[in-house]
Structure 1
Amino acid sequence: MVIRVLRSVSAAAVVGSLALSCCMTPTMGAQQAAPPTAPAPIDPAAYRFADKLLKQMTLEEKVGQMTQVALNSPDGPGVEDRIRKGLVGSLLFIKDPNEINRMQKIAMEESRLHIPLLIGFDVIHGYRTIYPVPLAMAASWEPETAEKAQRMAAREASSFGIRWAFAPMVDIARDPRWGRIMEGAGEDPYLGARMAEAQVRGFQGKDLSDPDTLLACVKHFAGYGGAVGGRDYDSANLSDDQLYNVYLKPYQAAVNAGAGSLMSAYMDLNSVPATGNKWLLHDVLRDQWKFPGFVVSDWESVKSLTTHGFTADDHDAAVRAVNAGVAMEMTSHTYREQLPSAVQKGEVSIATIDGAVREILVAKYRLGLFKNPYADLQRNAAETLSEEQRAATRHAATRTAVLLRNEGKLLPMKQAPRTLAVIGPLADAQADTMGSWSLAGHPEDTITVLQGLKKRFPTSEIRSTKGVEIWRDQRSIFDDQFPDPKPTLTTEEAKKAEFDRAIEMVRNSDMTVLVLGEAQTMSGERASRASLTLPGKQQELLEAAVATGKPVVLVLMNGRPLDITWASQHVPAILDVWYPGTEGGNAVADLLSGDANPGGKLPITWPRSVGQVPLYYADNLTQIASEPNTRYWDSSSAPLYPFGFGLSYSSFAVSNVHAASETLRMGQPLQVSVDVQNTSDTAGDDVVQLYVHQRAGSASRPVRELKAFQRISLKPHESRTVTLTLQPNELTYWSASSRSWVTEPGTYDVWTGDSVKADLHTTFTLVR
């Protein structure tokens, strides 16, 4: 039998997204799959409190709780009076703890019902102390690192009075042209799910009522990472196979981890905007997953339903968004202006309004805001940029770096070079080192690569210059916080002189560290790229530096894979540090000197050129499977670097794969063990990865799928047996053939190793 997880599908649901049916003939031999686990129930006391308060509220006050005001928007001025009248539920883009306390005092002491405000902010990878970007965190292949980073971010942000983080972003992204790829965990649903649940745990802690926690807001529900052409805000057209087996998995993991809120996405999902998609926000989220929290729209995404051509006007947009399941509107004011009349006309039931407000009040209750909504100024002073915060982000940055090439063991620099050139537009760029979405960070707090190397090698003569400049001509959403510096080299003569100066430094130095990549504003929201090349004249600078014949190390600072095909053949050492954060420069110095050993692995397939995009490892075999890398007549189809790849200053051997059983009954886990040996004289980390392939079933299955992994540390020449557990639910998938969840008997391949190219192989047979 096949699992029955979907209710009958109405015509509206079909229009809403997918034509699904649970009444089709079951797959022969398939066993009913276990239903997905649900999040833990919320304390009933929270609902009793909310219901008691609801009975005292007017319709206008209820709609007020469903309204969020951004203080950096035209709606911001004069908000105090609306807070006094109980017409505001949440504030966005307020950072001063004293100002937050002033606003909360108005709500708690001057409003009729004394309902606290929920203060939200984009705590994506840190607050004042900036941690490596989320894509980098995924490169650690260590959920504990991601959890610790968000735990530290929650401690710092909450000390400012922020109690709601618009993170984690768990969108699967398989197109590096999409700028927001840097906010997620890359291409794989299993790795993405583990990182999603770790971040939720980090933000929310063990008890949301603890004052140092943040309510997580998982975004963008759902499919935003599948935007056509990698163009931000563009439509996503995803099959039910892709939605259920790939894109929705990290969301469900985050929900099961207890995430308190979700954010609806901007874009059309299969021709229905996500913010008005009842199938997505109700049928999947509520009925199937039993999500108990609340949904907030993305920035003006309710109002934008009309832009999509989905609704006729603001009134229609408000009605359809709230009826679909959006409880709170971010920044635009269609709810405030339209919902009261919609209730009076019978277009929205008072039960729908009460349900939305109940969810918001429950969240505030769980956060302890009714008892204490204020920022603790003493804790704020002790927590902000503390030594503990700085140490944590420095450690995270060393765990997330990926060593892509190290010919001749050029790295690490075991001895301080007599002369060292540190060249490139990002070598001493504080804002760029933080990366995108570091809105509360201060560039002056940041340690650059140049500063870190000067501190690490005080006896070396270190010379530095930009060589070239890079900047965005188009406006960025981050311009208000970190405007791109205007180029100082304005004439061709000045540009050539600076370029020549940099190459002369390379020629006259014992070693050169080139810090190249993308400026902060070239990655993130509204930062899609049609090309993956190094922006500006950086490629020319790189080639000229290598042509000197001097040893060159390329340090990449970026939020997406870049076209470094030439560098992969000509530059002896390449270290990708992504955007490493506040202590990035010190972390890079640790890595280059060998004080830290790179152990990160790629969370995304790295293409040779943009012409291969989208490119990901978990594709399906076709009739030309015998020659999978010859599908282009003018280029290899193979990636430059495969998913899961990453080098180390150590070397490892993986051997002796052993499955605990050759025959596995459905519903049972399988233990797979391998021996891992550090074959070098240097202590280091390796990531043991387990991939599975189902040979035959009701639908074609990907050639390999990641199903387990573990990062381990080994001393020189140490050996260890690592046991990975293949959980039974990891063999369940959504079959496009039967339109149902299935677990199917048959033969399964298992590979283990330290990248998707692992060749250590065994099999098992799944039986009923």
Structure 2
Amino acid sequence: MKNRPFYIIILMSILLMSSCAEKESTEFAFQDLNLSVEERVTDLISHMTLQEKVSQMRYDAPAIKRLGIPEYNWWNECLHGVARAGEATVFPQGIGMGSTWNAPLIHQMGIAVSDEARAKHHAFAKAGKRGIYQGLTFWTPNINIFRDPRWGRGQETYGEDPYLTSRIGVNYINGLQGDDPKYLKVVATAKHFAVHSGPEKSRHEDNYQTSNRDLYETYLPAFEAAVKEAKVHSVMCAYNRYRDEACCGSNLLLQKILRDDWGFDGYVVSDCWAITDFWEPNRHGITDTAPEAAALAVDRGTDLNCGSVYDPNLKEAVLKELIDESKLDIALKRLFTARFKLGMFDPAEDVKWTNIPYDVVASDAHYTLSEQVARESMVLLKNENNTLPLSKDIASIAVIGPNANSKQALLGNYHGTPHQFITPLKAIEAKLPNAQIHYALGSDIAEGWPMLTPIPSSVLKNGEEAGLKGKYYKSIDWKGEPAFVRNDTLIDFIWMPEKPISGLEKDIFSVQWTGQLVPEEDGEYRIGLKASSGGKVYFDGELQFEFKDDHEPKTRYFDRILKKGTPYDVTIEYFNYHTDPQAHFVWAKKDQDLLTPAIEAAKKSDVVLLFLGLSPTIEGEEMPVLLEGFDKGDRSDITLPKTQIALMKEVQAIGKPTIVVLMNGSALAVNWAGKNIPAILEAWYPGEFGGKAIADVLFGDYNPGGRLPVTFYKSVEDLPDFKSYDMNNRTYKYFKGDPLFPFGHGLSYTTFAYENLVVDTEIELKKGIPLKVDVTNIGRRDGDEVIQLYISHIDSTNDAPIRSLVGFQRVHLKTGETKTVEFLITPKQYAELNEEGQPEFNQGSLTVNVGGKQPNFNGLADAETTSVLTKTIVLK
């Protein structure tokens, strides 16, 4: 044992090393898992320098290595599926989600989307990727009220009604954020707070005014429900001003209403670069400098900046005493509370959401759910003489229209990239393998807006080879030696799941394509590059356009008259910096005769299917689109574009049975179709399985049950000024005219009857009103019915709404089946709001309408496959 001292020394060394290691792992109190989140966050912030604090208030927050804080990018999107992060399940656009009138289904969708979000995030983090669209904080849902059909972003919303919007929104948020009492699954963000729904082109300068009644009756209820019921952890403030205050610097919105009145304890993020609008010329003009803007926004409650104002300007603002550093600490506490609640500073094994396997992404189960949401979003607007469903034994059919084979019309905006695009044409071909299918484009989506397709290899030349020469670089700027060089016959790339260059540690690369375009016909052509991230296109030696920071694949283009057989030099420089790299070199001949082939297709077919509508390439967020009827993403008219109206009239005149399918993000005044086309189906932007859902409805494999979440007006002349946020004569609640199709409208292939409405005829004020009703499927097909409950104040003296939706439920009924559906109208729902927006309980009569539609419509606006029961209640 003479070596005992040596062993003792070794043992003591081991113990000392162990103690040091333990001390190193818990060097800071915020690393102690036994402390509360509040204590950990407070400690973490106490160790930060001013510059470090400022750096963590920008959306692309850098790492603080000395504190063990990894970099984090707060910007992510999942409007209708995980977006901009590679392959994901693409569900129907928001307006389609609203048209399901099925809140529990949207909750299931939220669970599926957040499963994919978690799986993707952990895969990215494992690979050391922490960039844009790779985090767990999602800027969804858009719960603004779609008050005017001209708004291009209305497609992102759940419609025009505050109650329907709140039910869909609350359920989606709950599905996203999860049910764990300790850890958030993801953070959802209710946007855009508040009083925000166009116009797009002036959103950076507009100052909106409303009455208190309109504010509390229309613009706030969905946000209040998101905060109080769903406990949404983030809110995004809007670009515009409201009552002279910028929404991202509004004491009324962000402090009084959001935090004081509603008790919101999450964080507020600015819309992207909204705070630059505070001082930039021809915008809000509420501050003179960037530091003043940063100080004002933080002081009023905007914690996180999507943009570049806070860093470095907040540091200057503190040093100049424009704002106290303690205000930064408040914002940081909110931000890091979210990161801690997401489990980002805890062992993975403690956070159950880290166990979600990657194979949930684009899984069969999620595909099935996406298809179900698409089916339930279909709204049958008209079905004269039971034109639909069609027989599958049909011998020949014409499939015509700009949306018949459009991939973009499936997606809408803020979308992911699907593995497959089931367009209506593809679905009909699969549905009718024995039929002759005659396809024709028929028309452009609008005059001056041709449908662009990939430029074929037959007209691209790289020396003696067909195609273009591609040099692929591991840098973002085409610098250094290329990783490889090859000939690409077609520039039509979606690089998923692998990037074009193997071994990339980040999603950063660039490609330069060179060669010549040699057209086979004379004519005027539109030539473009649809791509994500950024790039340049040179044609015949001249730069045609340059773009960068494209978060979603968009098309830039130029028009040029080309001569047959003449070679034109082409150089395309593309770079990528995020996780959804795409590049498509596209074109269209502008002077083509599209109508003649459509007429020929219709003449040799037994039935004609016209796929008309709009496109997210011309309606959407702040777009450089100036066409007749369109205005920078919004619309100046609400009819179909003239090219499509002409196509429809020419085809209908042939005399073949003709059905119109609409694919669009907003209401259309399809008046001529309403009078002359026997069947009209509204399909919205229905997701990657949209074509299959459409075909299932058209050919009777699914009985449609969707309902309109917006009013279809007959003319833009029926609408108030677009910039007016006064709700007078807007939406079904206040519109005094005759709609083409009313809110809540939708037909079925079966018929539903209502009876036994049970409700007390006298109710004590401030007491709830329970009621129940029996609904029976009296038709010959199983189907879904959406029971809608409306109330109207008969004796109101303060211009109460014509009627208000206060309950709904979607039920499936087999032929001959009866179900009893129960509702409870709460006192808050039947209270009238006074001029201050406060509830008042007044004695008088209240009309209750329950059924599958609004009451009191005739003709085309009436849904004959359902009915309504009415009772009058006396409030005492």
Q: Do they superpose with TM above 0.5?
A: yes
Q: CA deviation at 1:472?
A: 8.8
Equivalent-residue separation in structure 2 for 1:44 and 1:610 (angstroms): 59
Letter in 2 for 1:638: D
In the TM superposition, what whole-angstrom CA distance separates every residue of 1:269-295 from its partner, at most 9, and x where no partner exists? 123211111111001000000001000
1:214 aligned counterpart, secondary structure: coil
Structure 1 pair 65/319, CA: closer, same or farther in 2 (3 Å)? same
In structure 1, the residue matched to 2:194 is 222
- Structure with higher Rg: it is 2
Letter in 2 for 1:573: A
Q: CA deviation at 1:116?
A: 5.5
Q: Tell me if 1:760 matches 2:751.
A: no
In the TM superposition, what whole-angstrom CA distance separates every residue of 1:489-524 from its partner, at most 9, and x where no partner exists? 322xx32xx311111111111112111111222222
Letter in 2 for 1:747: S
In structure 2, the residue matched to 1:389 is 366
2:842 and 2:875 in contact (8 A); partners too: yes
1:368 aligned counterpart, secondary structure: coil
Deviates more, 1:611-620 or 1:404-413: 611-620
Structure 1 pair 300/765, CA: closer, same or farther in 2 (3 Å)? same
Equivalent-residue separation in structure 2 for 1:246 and 1:583 (angstroms): 33
Q: Tell me if 1:142 matches 2:121.
A: no
Structure 1 pair 286/528, CA: closer, same or farther in 2 (3 Å)? same
**Equivalent residue for 1:117, pick from 60, 68, 72:** 72
Structure 1 pair 364/378, CA: closer, same or farther in 2 (3 Å)? closer
Q: Tell me if 1:413 matches 2:385.
A: no
Equivalent-residue separation in structure 2 for 1:386 and 1:344 (angstroms): 53
In structure 1, the residue matched to 2:173 is 200
2:143 and 2:169 in contact (8 A); partners too: yes
Structure 1 pair 763/308, CA: closer, same or farther in 2 (3 Å)? same
In structure 2, the residue matched to 1:490 is 590
**Equivalent residue for 2:93, pick from 129, 133, 142:** 133
Equivalent-residue separation in structure 1 for 2:317 and 2:137 (angstroms): 29
Letter in 2 for 1:83: P
Structure 1 pair 684/376, CA: closer, same or farther in 2 (3 Å)? closer
Equivalent-residue separation in structure 1 for 2:174 and 2:742 (angstroms): 30
Q: Tell me if 1:597 matches 2:710.
A: no
Letter in 1 for 2:196: Y
In structure 2, the residue matched to 1:97 is none
Q: CA deviation at 1:716?
A: 1.0
Letter in 1 for 2:67: R
Equivalent-residue separation in structure 2 for 1:472 and 1:114 (angstroms): 53
Q: CA deviation at 1:357?
A: 0.3
Q: After the TM superposition, which residues 451-462 of structure 1 pair with which residues of structure 2 at under 5 Å, given as runs?
A: 451-462=426-437
Deviates more, 1:160-169 or 1:336-345: 336-345
Q: CA deviation at 1:159?
A: 1.9
Equivalent-residue separation in structure 2 for 1:393 and 1:279 (angstroms): 39
Letter in 1 for 2:314: L
Equivalent-residue separation in structure 2 for 1:229 and 1:363 (angstroms): 31
In structure 2, the residue matched to 1:29 is none
2:91 and 2:687 in contact (8 A); partners too: yes
Structure 1 pair 228/489, CA: closer, same or farther in 2 (3 Å)? closer
Q: After the TM superposition, which residues 651-666 of structure 1 pair with which residues of structure 2 at under 5 Å, given as runs?
A: 651-659=751-759, 661-666=760-765
Q: CA deviation at 1:150?
A: 2.2
Deviates more, 1:251-260 or 1:609-618: 609-618
1:178 and 1:230 in contact (8 A); partners too: no
In structure 2, the residue matched to 1:634 is none
Equivalent-residue separation in structure 1 for 2:808 and 2:697 (angstroms): 24
Gapped runs of 5+ residues in structure 2? 1-33, 83-87, 122-134, 450-527, 531-548, 557-584, 623-632, 721-728, 857-867
In the TM superposition, what whole-angstrom CA distance separates every residue of 1:542-578 from its partner, at most 9, and x where no partner exists? 1111111111111110000112000011111111110
Structure 1 pair 395/403, CA: closer, same or farther in 2 (3 Å)? same
Equivalent-residue separation in structure 2 for 1:210 and 1:204 (angstroms): 9
Structure 1 pair 158/715, CA: closer, same or farther in 2 (3 Å)? same
In structure 2, the residue matched to 1:303 is 276
1:120 aligned counterpart, secondary structure: coil
**Equivalent residue for 1:566, pick from 668, 672, 677:** 672
In structure 1, the residue matched to 2:865 is none
Equivalent-residue separation in structure 2 for 1:157 and 1:551 (angstroms): 45
Q: Point out the structure with the larger strand share.
A: 2
2:589 aligned counterpart, secondary structure: coil
Deviates more, 1:116-125 or 1:410-419: 116-125
Q: CA deviation at 1:380?
A: 6.4
Structure 1 pair 258/619, CA: closer, same or farther in 2 (3 Å)? closer
1:700 aligned counterpart, secondary structure: coil
**Equivalent residue for 2:150, pick from 167, 177, 182:** 177
2:330 aligned counterpart, secondary structure: helix
Q: CA deviation at 1:728?
A: 2.2
Letter in 2 for 1:112: L
In the TM superposition, what whole-angstrom CA distance separates every residue of 1:39-61 from its partner, at most 9, and x where no partner exists? xxxx9922122112111111211
In structure 1, the residue matched to 2:62 is 83
Q: Tell me if 1:60 matches 2:156.
A: no
In structure 1, the residue matched to 2:41 is 50
**Equivalent residue for 2:848, pick from 743, 747, 750:** 750
How many pairs are equivalent? 664
1:318 aligned counterpart, secondary structure: helix
Letter in 1 for 2:398: A
2:711 and 2:732 in contact (8 A); partners too: no
Equivalent-residue separation in structure 2 for 1:230 and 1:140 (angstroms): 30
Q: After the TM superposition, which residues 561-640 of structure 1 pair with which residues of structure 2 at under 5 Å, given as runs?
A: 561-614=667-720, 616-619=730-733, 637-640=737-740
Equivalent-residue separation in structure 2 for 1:346 and 1:697 (angstroms): 53
1:520 aligned counterpart, secondary structure: coil
Q: Tell me if 1:692 matches 2:791.
A: yes
Letter in 1 for 2:702: A
1:721 aligned counterpart, secondary structure: strand
Equivalent-residue separation in structure 2 for 1:56 and 1:44 (angstroms): 17
Q: CA deviation at 1:612?
A: 1.1
2:59 aligned counterpart, secondary structure: strand
**Equivalent residue for 1:189, pick from 151, 158, 162:** 162
In the TM superposition, what whole-angstrom CA distance separates every residue of 1:577-631 from its partner, at most 9, and x where no partner exists? 100001111111111121111100111111011111255455559xxxxxx5xxx
Equivalent-residue separation in structure 1 for 2:289 and 2:819 (angstroms): 64
**Equivalent residue for 1:318, pick from 268, 274, 294:** 294
2:208 aligned counterpart, secondary structure: coil
1:132 and 1:580 in contact (8 A); partners too: yes
In structure 2, the residue matched to 1:732 is 831
**Could you tell me the TM-score, scaled by structure 1's length?**
0.82
1:763 aligned counterpart, secondary structure: strand
Equivalent-residue separation in structure 2 for 1:658 and 1:678 (angstroms): 19
Letter in 1 for 2:297: A
Q: Tell me if 1:524 matches 2:630.
A: no
Identity %: 31
In the TM superposition, what whole-angstrom CA distance separates every residue of 1:614-662 from its partner, at most 9, and x where no partner exists? 55455559xxxxxx5xxxxxxxx30001111100111112233221x22
Q: CA deviation at 1:378?
A: 10
Q: Tell me if 1:153 matches 2:110.
A: no
Equivalent-residue separation in structure 2 for 1:430 and 1:358 (angstroms): 44
Gapped runs of 5+ residues in structure 1? 1-42, 70-81, 87-109, 622-627, 629-636
Deviates more, 1:267-276 or 1:602-611: 267-276
Q: CA deviation at 1:141?
A: 0.8
Q: Tell me if 1:242 matches 2:341.
A: no
Equivalent-residue separation in structure 1 for 2:66 and 2:270 (angstroms): 25
Equivalent-residue separation in structure 2 for 1:327 and 1:120 (angstroms): 14
In structure 2, the residue matched to 1:359 is 334
2:442 and 2:595 in contact (8 A); partners too: yes
Q: CA deviation at 1:471?
A: 6.0
Structure 1 pair 650/64, CA: closer, same or farther in 2 (3 Å)? same
Q: Give the aligned CA root-mean-square deviation in angstroms.
A: 2.6
2:275 aligned counterpart, secondary structure: coil
In the TM superposition, what whole-angstrom CA distance separates every residue of 1:174-198 from its partner, at most 9, and x where no partner exists? 1010011111111111111111111
Structure 1 pair 690/739, CA: closer, same or farther in 2 (3 Å)? closer
Q: CA deviation at 1:118?
A: 4.8
Structure 1 pair 478/682, CA: closer, same or farther in 2 (3 Å)? farther
**Equivalent residue for 1:400, pick from 357, 367, 377:** 377
Structure 1 pair 520/111, CA: closer, same or farther in 2 (3 Å)? farther
